[in-house]
Structure 1
């Protein structure tokens, strides 16, 4: 993988830097409350979210494959990281994050970036909406100021916990949260360029500090004071046993990080008309996730909302992402002691709004309205994300999507018996030419349409074998509309060829496409069929087939399937010699 900065900074000038500085400043300010909120919701200290924003944000911008990508902690990671912290602990989360980084780099090096894009939309919408529900409900306790709640991994257990402690609602916390929420909603409408989350956080914190100090839980009272520096590098304690123990959470982090970052990059492409390098993006994300845990940071990925804000603010290059990280570092260095006074109730509305925005509610409703199999995949993935975990949800969603795809593709495959239509100027083969009085007993011609893969291969063979029980001399398969064949399809085609060969017949194939043709070469089936039995034009294939006829069997035949039949069926007719059969009169096309 070659990292060249020429294209990304080509034509860069002072005006470009000014744009990057302004956009980086705006996004950096927005990222501060989000970084702390995401960390708290993930079950770790708020400063870890800021460390992630600084380190990962700078590295992703420098090494990633998207010009405008902003990286850092995201809402999508919250349920995953919280579950890992609950089950494995914070230290092991860092190791799992490091391992996920290695996996992302490997995925990028093996050019799996494009593969990640093939995850079905209903699966993505389903788990994204499920994550949004988990985030939103997870903030109810802080919004209401409930205390002494026991945190669980299970959704229903957490809902039960809320119900048990609902009587301990703190009116001061509710008031603080509502003040923050109002400003989050109103600020973008009144002042579009001012980050509402920061305004809401500052005003609600000031109100709580002045009017009712010590009445609401704060970052300082819950997690202790936030240090105003980044910690030194700490190398993770890696061993084979440790890595095997954490491979599952590492895979989950890598998978979600890859999906989220590439989705964000696609959004950026759509907004700017640029094109990202998906494999380079995975490598950049991987390196960032390998380095960030060394400073105590949590896993990071591309942040869709912050990336969109970066673009809308006029970013000209990846330097805006670097500046955004520097801004967060300066704020941490200068104002960290004051952040300890922020009420947890002020953080809750920020995350609730994030959850609302990432819920994909319109897309969810749109897919649901179709009432198709995809709707079932959507709902299944959503419910499993909420009530079990993301890994199970995605696995089941992908399996269901695969089953639906196979079912749809199997319906599309058709094998139709045909004969040339003498009334057509182009000599097309047609199914309506087949009837009781017109059907050659020695030559069977079939058009095959659709992908020939494991889901339909058995039906393909059965449909052919059921029709050729009379063991024709020649089976001609016109495969111009077979774009893909897998090993199972090849095996069933081989079974047909061997069956005919055993009974003295031959298989002829015309107009086969490149992928199936290459597969037959690799497996050697083209040698079994015969290299000279493949034709680019069906007319030539029919001419070849006519020369394979048992002329004695043609005598007296009244089926009149081909134009040549009137000569071949006469009792005293001299058999048509190969050189007398003109392929030009039998050109066949679709």
Structure 2
């Protein structure tokens, strides 16, 4: 594996401007995410630096810019708060150990080529948990926006809303409202040169310094080189840490690969999913080692980078290095940033994450889709992401399997002596069935037959007219699975118990392989296995007529 993908110096100007622009956009977000997570503003900056640098260097999406994102920060906030509450001394170190473990899992996802499966998630589930994440971000930012003390739990925030509104701080509301006004009202012509969140950050901080000194601010931010956070594992919490790490890895992988798809559409290129996961994993492992937030591919920063001319990993690396230079000397200014301003910026982020495009038409969607999306949304907000995604994917898959089963069972054809059914046969095959006078039943399987229709395979024969020969036709079946093979075994054994002859026709190499491995083909005599349906029907007809001593020479070939 090469160390980089698409790294070259033929686009230095575009990559430099793309990296600078992305860094300007990333700065206020990194500070806000750091404060929101509970780990501190500097953790957000370090996350943007290390995830941004190493995911660009080792990743598989050349123009992608990575760093802390809303979804990842929501999970990290829960992780950090959880372990800090369990053990104030080693809790933060365990939280960053979880970040490292999450990065390690992402590397494994890439090594085992799981990237192609991670994004195969039903759209209502993705919509539900993204909308849920946006809702969580908005709710958790209400306390600082209203000038109240920070509240960790979503339920606690919801129950405290009336009191927070009644006791709202006017200065905090003014700063938060001004921030929202700026991020929404800044003309696009200005945003091309100076991102609205950065304008809001400067304006809000200046307002607080001159008019609202009483509002809560970030406070002292460490400057200088980051210190190492060596892994700390509490064996009693090992399982809990692994689950948290897996949650971060899964969410980070989904977030990154979806952003990679956006980058592909803008640049007309094709990312490499496995390499991207490896790069993201390395970035998160290094971020955790230096006390940074976990990150993923950031859609807004990636789009800004591409529009500013960034095309290669140099742009993402430039973005990270500029942020590192800023943090070395901008700590004094950043310490005066009001929490209400950061809350306003993050509320805008939360609003943008919500899937408004789907919500606007959700009432037109089928009831199942609407129920699935809202269920995942509710579970994300009031339970946790892993439960929400797991339940959503499980329900969606069960529903899909049921529909697939119905479709596959409907495609199965029972053809006997009804002339209307003979439209699926050629003239010769139809004649053979007519000669058999309803005593041969053709069971025609069609399309890929999976476990979804295994139960329906045997049920399809219930109520069929009596017959003496059963022909199982696989001519239109590209493959079957083990469940289908075992269902066919039941059909063959039932036919044998009813003293019916069983024949098979048209099984290709893949189908024959499964039937042989599961010892199903052995239940059918060698002489009753045919390459074509026509040969099987002719043999079935001949067997019926021979039993009656009918002169076969009198029949046409």
TM-score (norm 1): 0.86
The structure-2 alpha-carbon separation of the partners of 1:425 and 1:123, relative to structure 1 and needing over 3 Å to count, comes to: closer
- Paired position in structure 1 for 2:103: 101
Distance 2:537 2:238 in 1: 62
Distance 2:378 2:420 in 1: 59
Q: Secondary structure at the match of 2:200?
A: helix
1:456: Cα distance to partner?
2.6
Root-mean-square deviation over aligned CA pairs: 2.9
- Paired position in structure 2 for 1:562: none
- 2:474–2:505: 8 Å Cα contact kept in structure 1? yes
Structure 1 residues 323-346: Cα deviation after superposition (integer angstroms, max 9, x where no partner): 000010111112122110111111
Distance 2:286 2:216 in 1: 33
- 2:469–2:540: 8 Å Cα contact kept in structure 1? yes
The structure-2 alpha-carbon separation of the partners of 1:417 and 1:333, relative to structure 1 and needing over 3 Å to count, comes to: same
How many residues end up aligned between the 2 structures? 546
2:20 to 4, 19, 25: 25
- 1:418–1:432: 8 Å Cα contact kept in structure 2? no
The structure-2 alpha-carbon separation of the partners of 1:134 and 1:543, relative to structure 1 and needing over 3 Å to count, comes to: same
- 2:436–2:541: 8 Å Cα contact kept in structure 1? no
Q: Secondary structure at the match of 1:219?
A: coil
Structure 1 gap segments, 5+ residues each: 556-567, 569-573, 583-590
2:35 to 32, 35, 40: 40
1:42: Cα distance to partner?
1.6
1:368: Cα distance to partner?
4.1
1:353 to 348, 365, 382: 348
The structure-2 alpha-carbon separation of the partners of 1:345 and 1:523, relative to structure 1 and needing over 3 Å to count, comes to: same
1:424: Cα distance to partner?
8.7
1:128 to 130, 133, 139: 130
Q: Secondary structure at the match of 1:230?
A: coil
1:54: Cα distance to partner?
0.4
- Paired position in structure 1 for 2:473: 478
The structure-2 alpha-carbon separation of the partners of 1:491 and 1:361, relative to structure 1 and needing over 3 Å to count, comes to: same
Q: Which is greater in Rg?
A: 1
Structure 1 residues 481-525: Cα deviation after superposition (integer angstroms, max 9, x where no partner): 445533222111011122333444343333446654432233232
1:79: Cα distance to partner?
2.5
Distance 1:263 1:41 in 2: 24
- Paired position in structure 1 for 2:208: 208
- Paired position in structure 1 for 2:65: 70
- Paired position in structure 2 for 1:139: 141
Distance 1:160 1:39 in 2: 25
Matches within 5 A, 1:294-305: 294-305=289-300
Q: Secondary structure at the match of 1:549?
A: helix
1:271: Cα distance to partner?
1.6
1:242: Cα distance to partner?
4.6
1:83 matched to 2:85? The reply is: no
Q: Secondary structure at the match of 1:467?
A: coil
Structure 1 residues 397-442: Cα deviation after superposition (integer angstroms, max 9, x where no partner): 011101211221122122322259799999538999999x997343
Matches within 5 A, 1:128-527: 128-147=130-149, 149=150, 151-153=151-153, 155-193=154-192, 194-212=194-212, 214-220=213-219, 225-238=220-233, 241-412=236-407, 413-414=409-410, 415-418=412-415, 427-428=425-426, 440-449=437-446, 451-467=448-464, 470=466, 472-512=467-507, 515-527=510-522
The structure-2 alpha-carbon separation of the partners of 1:484 and 1:188, relative to structure 1 and needing over 3 Å to count, comes to: farther
Structure 1 residues 114-159: Cα deviation after superposition (integer angstroms, max 9, x where no partner): 1112111110100000110110111111112123x5x243x22221
1:575 matched to 2:552? The reply is: yes
Structure 1 residues 233-287: Cα deviation after superposition (integer angstroms, max 9, x where no partner): 2321246555323111111111111111111111111222211111111111112
Report which structure shows greater RCO (CA 8 Å, sep ≥6): 2
- Paired position in structure 1 for 2:6: 8
